[in-house]
Amino acid sequence: EPRFKHLTFAADAQTLIAGRGLAGPAKPPLIMVFSVESGKELHSVRVPFDHVAGIAVSANGKSLIVVDKDDLQKPPAVWDLATMERLPDDDGMPEARELRGRFVPDGLRLQNDDSGLSIVAEDGGHEVLALPRDRYRTQSASFSPDGKRILSGGVGLVVRVWSAETGAL
């Protein structure tokens, strides 16, 4: 079943990047870029390998980095985020090695388990906010760079943007 396995916000928090998790000749990995406000797809690109380990946006917010799950030693694939033109592979990007694609507000983390997606305090694990469980089984979640929104996605290629303060869609 198709699903988004990797999600992250661009530095502007107005653009989201989603990686489709199915691989194979019939459904090669696909990275899609969407407008948060309209939900409209802006770009999509096929990934040059079979399995994606993770996606990240470079520290300057200009490049999209995709790491090959089958060969973590191989340089990542890199695209210009504005044009989605493929850039030369750059194994020197620290973001590619560390995959800092998820911003986490101080002292908080996202937890995804059988009961659903929630924001949990790291200093004891108490739940700060529980998001309504949905039928799309969350596979990936990420905070926006400003910490005000949460991006979640999963089965059925459904992506949702939540308020990190209220849990509203």
**Spans in the chain with pLDDT lower than 50:** 91-92, 95-103
Q: Mean pLDDT across the chain, nearest whole number?
A: 76
Q: Is the pTM of this model over 0.75?
A: no
Quick one: pLDDT at residue 40?
93
Quick one: pLDDT at residue 96?
47
User: Quick one: which of 99, 117, 106, 115 has its CA closest to 154?
Assistant: 117
Spatial distance between the Cα atoms of 163 and 169, rounded to a whole number of angstroms: 6
- The helix/strand/coil state of 95 is helix
Spatial distance between the Cα atoms of 23 and 90, rounded to a whole number of angstroms: 24
Quick one: pLDDT at residue 42?
93
- The helix/strand/coil state of 89 is coil
